[in-house]
């Protein structure tokens, strides 16, 4: 059965990043000859379901929610494809937050993609239920393309990304929520956030969601002299906003600050772009240049910067691909997460398309590459060509179409005689 119509289900107003991804995919599918409709997931489930029943798409594509997590909006009999990019479900209609891996309603989609290794988000037995795959983001070559005639500024560095607020700037009442208590002693959210930042050194480059939850449970046990397991913690708190703050926001802080410190330690000329939470970090305020909302402006930053730097739990991040596609040279740290089967080393070659580094020796690595203008330019041009040939949104659209067709074929009744 051919695929001619796809419904892309996304909240139009809540998350501009996900909305822009869906717009890019919409154009890519259209380029492949497949029509799409963007459907506002922010509407009431009954409205969404009625519209989907009217549209009759060949399949529904949704980010950060599976069929089971959106039961009232997804008509029976329609193929549902989920793309899980975060540890927590995308919220709707004033819902409480919900951690994916402890959600009894997770699943039910005919195809589930993840952006990173499923184990990073805590999925275990889940992967044996249904069809799972890995899907990366892509680039739009009309925006992200090399301009070799524009030289990068020597020894310039850029951090493009989000940093959470420092603890002192967070809502005081929210941070005083009591997580656990015993015999007059309490563990509050602010205590645990401080523990994760300053004692446990929580890091998205080093720790999975289950490991962060284990850290939290162990510290509660130690401080209160009680016994709880990480499973107890997750079962009791998997719909509480401050757990999301602790396992998603806090691990980013140390990584972002370490990255900034490493560029400064290598005496690079640093510029920082991203949401204005950076303004609450006085040490880095002199380097903050504002938040770029236009893709072409960000692409220009990548092109004119010699040391674009990224650290995270995976290398095939949208930031990395867009930098490469724009003809920017990029330095990539994935910490202890090195997945040669699916991540960056499968698609790009270190030293040819990007420069790998470890946070522990980042200053030394950056210093070694200072002054190597020609080599960095060559790496940038190699990466731009590799990305253009293999990692556009059209490539992703083709992957999705092929995978959905294969899943349908698997589910189709056999025509062979018994």
Q: Which domains does the chain have, with CATH numbers?
A: 5-138+396-411 (3.40.50), 153-165+252-391 (3.40.50.2000), 170-250 (no CATH)
Nearest one of 230, 244, 247 to 97, comparing CA atoms: 244
pLDDT, tens digit, 9 for 90 and up, residues 108-137: 999 999 999 999 999 999 999 989 999 999
Residue given tokens 């289900």 in the structure block: 9
pLDDT, tens digit, 9 for 90 and up, residues 290-347: 999 999 999 999 999 999 999 999 999 999 999 999 999 999 999 889 888 899 999 9
Residue given tokens 């184990």 in the structure block: 119
> CA separation (Å) from 269 to 221, 254, 258, 286, 374?
45, 21, 16, 11, 18
- In this prediction, residue 83 carries a pLDDT of 98
User: How is residue 84 written in tokens?
Assistant: 């899980």
Q: Left if phi > 0, otherwise alpha if psi is -120 to 50, otherwise beta: which for 33?
A: left
User: How is residue 410 written in tokens?
Assistant: 């698997």
Query: What share of the chain has pLDDT > 90, as a percent?
Result: 91
Indicate the burial class of 153 (C-beta count within 10 angstroms; 0-12, 13-18, 19 or more).
middle
pLDDT, tens digit, 9 for 90 and up, residues 121-177: 999 999 999 899 999 999 999 999 999 999 999 999 999 999 999 999 998 899 999
Range 264-285 average pLDDT:
97
Indicate the burial class of 5 (C-beta count within 10 angstroms; 0-12, 13-18, 19 or more).
middle
- Cβ neighbors of 280 (< 8 A, separation 6 or more) are 165, 166, 169
User: How is residue 305 written in tokens?
Assistant: 């910067």
Range 226-250 average pLDDT:
95
Decide if pLDDT at 35 tops 70: yes
- The model carries a pTM of 0.95
Asked if residue 369 lies in contact with residue 156, where contact means CB atoms within 8 angstroms, the answer is no
Other CB atoms closer than 10 Å to residue 132's CB: what's the count? 17
Distance between start and end Cα atoms, the chain: 23
Range in 9-13, 244-248, 285-289 with the lowest mean pLDDT: 9-13
Decide if pLDDT at 418 tops 50: no
In the sheet with 153-160, reading across from the earlier edge strand, the strands are 269-273, 153-160, 305-311, 330-333, 355-356
> How far is residue 399's CA from residue 353's CA, in Å, rounded to a whole number?
23
User: How is residue 47 written in tokens?
Assistant: 């409205």
Residue given tokens 């890519």 in the structure block: 28
Asked if residue 176 lies in contact with residue 395, where contact means CB atoms within 8 angstroms, the answer is no
Measured CA angle at 312 (ends 164, 242), to 5 deg: 35
| Phi–psi pair at 380, nearest 5 degrees | -60, -45
Other CB atoms closer than 10 Å to residue 367's CB: what's the count? 15
User: How is residue 11 written in tokens?
Assistant: 């909240």
Residue given tokens 């490539």 in the structure block: 395
- In this prediction, residue 250 carries a pLDDT of 96
User: How is residue 151 written in tokens?
Assistant: 């030289």
- Cβ neighbors of 124 (< 8 A, separation 6 or more) are 101
Three-class SS state of 238: coil
User: How is residue 293 written in tokens?
Assistant: 């909302």
């Amino acid at each position: 059965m051919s695929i001619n119509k796809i419904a892309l289900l996304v909240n139009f107003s809540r998350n501009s990043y996900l909305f822009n991804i869906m717009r890019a995919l919409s154009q890519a599918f259209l380029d492949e000859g497949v029509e799409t409709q963007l459907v506002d997931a922010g509407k009431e489930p009954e409205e969404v379901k009625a519209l989907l029943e009217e549209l009759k798409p060949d399949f529904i594509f949704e980010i950060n929610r599976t069929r089971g997590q959106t039961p009232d909006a997804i008509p029976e009999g329609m193929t549902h494809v989920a793309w899980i990019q975060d540890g927590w479900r995308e919220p709707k209609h004033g819902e409480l937050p919900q951690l994916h891996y402890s959600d009894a309603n997770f699943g039910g989609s005919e195809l589930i993609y993840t952006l990173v290794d499923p184990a990073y988000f805590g999925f275990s037995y889940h992967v044996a239920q249904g069809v799972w795959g890995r899907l990366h983001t892509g680039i739009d070559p009309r925006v992200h393309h090399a301009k070799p005639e524009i030289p990068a500024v020597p020894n310039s560095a850029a951090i493009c990304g989000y940093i959470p607020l420092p603890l002192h700037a967070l809502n005081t009442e929210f941070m005083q929520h009591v997580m656990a208590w015993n015999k007059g002693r309490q563990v509050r959210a602010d205590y645990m956030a401080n523990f994760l930042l300053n004692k446990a050194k929580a890091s998205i480059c080093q720790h999975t969601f289950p490991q962060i939850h284990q850290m939290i449970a162990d510290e509660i046990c130690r401080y209160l002299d009680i016994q709880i397991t990480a499973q107890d913690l997750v079962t009791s708190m998997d719909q509480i906003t401050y757990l999301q703050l602790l396992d998603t926001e806090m691990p980013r802080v140390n990584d972002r600050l370490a990255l900034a410190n490493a560029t400064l330690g290598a005496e690079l000329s640093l510029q920082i772009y991203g949401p204005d939470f950076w303004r609450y970090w006085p040490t880095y305020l002199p380097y903050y240049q504002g938040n770029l909302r236009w893709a072409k402006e960000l692409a220009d930053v990548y092109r004119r910067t010699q040391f674009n730097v990224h650290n995270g739990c995976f290398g095939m991040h949208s930031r990395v691909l867009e930098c490469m596609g724009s003809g920017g040279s990029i330095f990539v740290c994935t910490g202890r997460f090195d997945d040669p089967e699916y991540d960056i080393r499968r698609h790009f070659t270190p030293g040819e398309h990007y420069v790998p580094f470890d946070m522990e020796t980042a200053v030394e690595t950056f210093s070694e590459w200072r002054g190597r203008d020609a080599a960095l330019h060559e790496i940038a041009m190699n990466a731009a060509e590799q990305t253009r040939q293999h990692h556009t949104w059209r490539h992703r659209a083709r992957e999705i179409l092929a995978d959905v067709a294969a899943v349908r074929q698997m589910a189709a009744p056999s025509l062979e005689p018994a």
